[in-house]
Structure 1
Amino acid sequence: MMKSVLRMSFPSLSTLLLIGFASLMLFSPEAKSWTIRGLMSIGFFQPNVQVNEKSPAKQGSEVSFRNGDNQVVKLTDLKGKVVVINFWATWCPPCIAEMPSFNRLSSTLKSNKNIVFLMVDVDGNYKKAKKFMERKRFNLPVYTADSSIPESLLDGSIPTTVIFDKFGNLVFRHIGAGDFSSKKVEEYLVKLSEVEGR
């Protein structure tokens, strides 16, 4: 009799746990981002970066961003540098999940003055985005869009990460969360930053 009660309660217990987990994922952005980060740590969400000198790259258009000091940075003004732009929002679980990897990557490459990071809050709420970065102790530069963003860069899906080479060409675009702190991404950016002339 006791064994049959235990057998019947195990499926009920596992169903309750599954419902609890699903509810947590549905209503808690932090729980979702924690789960995504866990999947990143075991090798999921790896961006496919590769330097392919033979593939044509698209030229970046006239796009500008604004920082907390109200300074406008134009994409065309950053030619000569590799530019990494991440479009994100504070309410987006995949964005929150990948942010530690960007923080590690940025810290690793901070001595390379030929690589620039722009973390662009798509809501345009600089103060909220900056507070998020401070609360999480991330040292990433926060920007908002100061012009329209073409669909070739951002089609509405976040997070979206794009990389421009030193000549202003769009050479990489990744939609969705990614582990950008991998050695492969670091080496890709360093190689792009070392390219001279044409």
Structure 2
Amino acid sequence: MNTLTKLKEKITLSNIFTGVLLVFVLAMLFSPDFKGMVTQNLMKIGLFQPKVPNGSSKDIAAGIDANENNEEILFKDPEGYVIELSDQKGKVVFMNFWATWCPPCIAEMPSINKLYSELKNNDEIEFMMVDVDNNRSKSEKFMEKRNFDLPIYTPASSIPSSYMSGAIPTTLVLNKYGKVVFKHEGMGDFSNAEFKDFLMKLTAE
């Protein structure tokens, strides 16, 4: 039996499958972009849909005061100016805490970008993509590489644990009175019509 024949006997379908599986597992472990891409495909089949609050528009708009200590929360806006979160009262605020190395953040980002592209001209809705690493240069390169148009904010004060307890991504929606009416820890598909309608309902309150 020659060497080529022996080699063919060793290369079985089982070996090929095992090799492909090993490459897949390693890519999932060490490549945030690859893991994000896989998760994006799972979103496309209807997984990871955020649970939109039910009830009357009045009940939803009431919200909860997550900032119990009433401490002013500060951020740096896309131009680098320090702003107070309370200055956003009068608008519905979509706030997402994320990082460039976070696979679930990468996975949900296209859905947020789609939502933003549909609502960015609505003056009653403010989008705040908060980079928890506070590395504006890196996050801007991240957005540019993926052709995202999302506004980057960075923390300029401590963030209450009721807003973000350490899990990323975490997404909040604040109503026009600064009350938290939606909180979602983990990735979600925010491009669906139900979530967009939820935001629009809040602008009418």
Instruction: With the length of structure 1 as denominator, give the TM-score of the two structures.
Output: 0.90
Amino acid at match of 1:65: F
Greater Cα shift, 8-17 or 115-124: 8-17
State the identity %.
Answer: 47
Instruction: Name the structure 2 match of 1:155.
Output: 165
Please show how residues 116-195 of structure 1 align to structure 2 within 5 Å: 116-195=126-205
Aligned pair partner of 2:21 in 15, 18, 21: 18
Aligned pair partner of 2:59 in 36, 54, 58: 54
CA–CA separation in structure 2 for the residues paired with 1:45 and 1:11: 32
Instruction: With the length of structure 2 as denominator, give the TM-score of the two structures.
Output: 0.87
Greater Cα shift, 152-161 or 15-24: 15-24
Q: Is contact 1:60-1:75 (8 Å) kept?
A: no
Aligned pair partner of 2:89 in 79, 102, 107: 79
Q: 1:176: Cα distance to partner?
A: 0.8
Q: Is contact 1:122-1:145 (8 Å) kept?
A: yes
Q: 1:111: Cα distance to partner?
A: 2.4
Q: State yes or no: 1:65 paired with 2:56.
A: no
Q: 1:130: Cα distance to partner?
A: 1.2
Partner SS state of residue 73, structure 1:
strand
Partner SS state of residue 142, structure 2:
helix
Amino acid at match of 2:21: L
Q: Is contact 1:60-1:168 (8 Å) kept?
A: no
CA–CA separation in structure 1 for the residues paired with 2:47 and 2:91: 29
1:119-143 C-alpha deviation (Å, 9 max, x unpaired):
0000001111112111211111101
Q: 1:92: Cα distance to partner?
A: 0.7
Partner SS state of residue 54, structure 1:
helix
Q: 1:10: Cα distance to partner?
A: 2.3
Q: Is contact 1:87-1:122 (8 Å) kept?
A: yes
CA–CA separation in structure 2 for the residues paired with 1:8 and 1:110: 54
Instruction: Name the structure 1 match of 2:45.
Output: 42
Instruction: Name the structure 2 match of 1:28.
Output: 31
CA–CA separation in structure 1 for the residues paired with 2:171 and 2:9: 50
Larger Rg: 2
Structure 2 alignment gaps of length 5 or more: none
CA–CA separation in structure 1 for the residues paired with 2:32 and 2:11: 33
Q: 1:8: Cα distance to partner?
A: 8.6
Q: 1:146: Cα distance to partner?
A: 0.8
> Quick one: structure 1 residues 140 and 11, their matched pair in 2 at CA, closer, same or farther if it must change by over 3 Å?
same
Q: How well do the aligned residues superpose, as a CA RMSD in angstroms?
A: 1.9
CA–CA separation in structure 1 for the residues paired with 2:133 and 2:182: 23
Amino acid at match of 2:37: W
Instruction: Name the structure 2 match of 1:96.
Output: 106
Q: Is contact 1:60-1:164 (8 Å) kept?
A: no
Q: Is contact 2:174-2:180 (8 Å) kept?
A: yes
